[in-house]
Amino acid sequence: MPTFQAVRARIRVDPYLLLLIGTVALAALIPAQGSATRIVDLAVALLFLLYGARLKPDAIWAGLSHWRLQSLIFASTYLLFPLLGVIMTVLLRGHLPRDIITGLLFLCLLPSTVQSSIAFTSIARGNVPGALCSASLSNMLGVILTPILVSQFLPAASGGFSMKALEDIALQILLPFVVGQAVRPWIGDWLLGHTVLTSVVDRGSVLVVVYAAFSAGMVAGIWHQLSPASIGIILLIDLIVLALVIGSTTWVSRVLGFSKEDEIAIVFCGSKKSMAGGIPMAAILFPGHAIGLIVLPLMLFHQAQLFVCATLARRYAGRARVGGLSTGRLASA
């Protein structure tokens, strides 16, 4: 009979997933009110300040020179995903609550992640500098592109294009990132040497944002609108979208003759959506809406992409060892 430790090792439950579930449960039992918004703003600002402080400018320029790789990742993030989002909106209209439909399309309009895209590319022995540049560029452009796309695809929910929303996102996300780049010469190396601290800030900031979002849903009394079956359907839709994007990026990268290292970066950067940036944007872009419902598809997608890409990264890494894939680009990061 297998021991408890052996069973736990096989299951490999992500502790962060348990923390997210616990955060949602805490919001259900003790929802935050009043000053929570200011705390969330500070947490998000700190998160993007640290992103800026850790990112090396020379890595950005190195990645930008590989324009074919960057173009394909950009097309996946801002063309393929929105196309799938529009198709979902048409097919699911009338079958799920309106805010959930809005959330599914909003998910498809977001930029890629930074941390997990780079981490999985590194684990799989892919083109890390290319992934670093792509993920960072996606987030910087997302500050402008996501509000514009939301205004075009979700004008009724967001109220159309708003310079005020763009300014709020720039102040809350882009400005801290720029400040982080400015102070990087003084604190960048120190942060890179204290990965535990930065990881706590990264994940803790997201937990704070999730707690505030779901607290708002509890206060507004929106959760009675969803059944466990509805949540299961949302997760299934997320998994279908993720599978379509991973399959498409893998196939196209091979047809176009990209190296295995580049293929890995394309797959992992082109299939991600940022929860850290998406939840604050939702709070700004959809004032007066049930934000908890709108970000629920994003939260479920975030966990799905972690589990699926972790498995895929291990498979890529195994194939890399057998085939003797060069890790020169990884060392250069």
Q: How many CB atoms lie within 10 A of CB 194?
A: 12
Measured CA to CA in angstroms, residue 157 lies from 214, 231, 287 at distances of 19, 21, 9
Inform me whether the pLDDT recorded for 323 exceeds 60. no
pLDDT given for residue 256 in this prediction: 94
Structure-model confidence comparison of residues 85 and 142, the more confident one: 85
pLDDT tens per residue across span 178-201: 888 888 888 888 887 777 777 777
Whole-number pLDDT of residue 83: 95
> Would you state the pLDDT for residue 8?
47
pLDDT score recorded for residue 97? 83
Higher pLDDT, 315 or 155: 315
128-153 vs 57-64: helix axis angle to the nearest 10? 80
Cα distance between residue 192 and residue 181, in whole Å: 14
- What is the residue type of 333? A
Label residue 330 exposed, middle or buried (CB < 10 Å: 0-12, 13-18, 19+).
middle
- In angstroms, the Cα distances linking 255 to 28, 65, 204, 258, 263 are 48, 21, 40, 8, 11
**Whole-prediction pTM:** 0.70
Q: What's 33-319's CATH class?
A: mainly alpha
More confident residue, 32 or 156: 32
pLDDT of residue 330: 35
* In the predicted structure, residue 10 carries a pLDDT above the cut 60: no
| More confident of the two residues 262 and 324 | 262
Q: Tell me how crowded residue 316 is: count the other CB atoms within 10 A of its CB.
A: 24
DSSP calls for 100-156? HHHHHHHHHTSPPPSHHHHHHHHHTT--HHHHHHHHHHHHHHHHHHHHHHHHHH-HH
Contact 205, 47 (CB under 8 A): yes
> Which pLDDT band, with edges at 50, 70 and 90, does 221 fall under?
low
Neighbours of 329 (CB within 10 A): 20
- Write the pLDDT tens digit of every residue in 236-271: 999 999 999 999 999 999 999 998 989 999 999 999
Q: How far is CA 280 from CA 25, 151, 294, in A?
A: 20, 16, 12
The pLDDT confidence band at residue 125, using thresholds 50, 70 and 90, is confident
- The arithmetic mean of pLDDT across residues 25-40, rounded, is 72
The pLDDT score that the predictor gives to residue 162 is 55
More confident residue, 291 or 274: 274
pLDDT for residue 156: 62
Residue 19, pLDDT above cutoff 60: yes
Residue 35 has pLDDT above 70, yes or no: no
Percent of the chain surpassing pLDDT 90: 20
d(CA 154, CA 228): 26
pLDDT for res 325: 40
- What does the pLDDT read at residue 46? 80
Task: Report the Cα 180 to chain-centroid distance in Å.
Answer: 20
Considering only residues 65 and 269, tell me which one the structure prediction assigns the higher pLDDT.
269
**Mapping DSSP to helix (H, G, I), strand (E, B) and coil, where does residue 48 land?**
helix
* Structure confidence at residue 267 (pLDDT): 94
Average pLDDT, whole number, for the chain? 77
Q: Among 51-65, 111-125, 246-260, whose mean pLDDT is lowest?
A: 51-65
Q: What is the pLDDT of residues 70-103, one digit of tens each?
A: 899 999 999 999 999 999 888 988 888 888 898 9
Q: What mean pLDDT do residues 283-289 have?
A: 74
DSSP state letter for 96: B
**Among all chains, which residue has been given the structure tokens 């992103």?**
51
Report the alpha-carbon distance of residue 53 to residue 297 in Å, rounded: 30
- Sign of the torsion formed by the C-alpha atoms of 287, 289, 292 and 295: negative
pLDDT of residue 292: 74
Residue bearing the bigger pLDDT, 231 or 110: 110
Decide: 293 and 88 in contact? Cβ < 8 Å: no
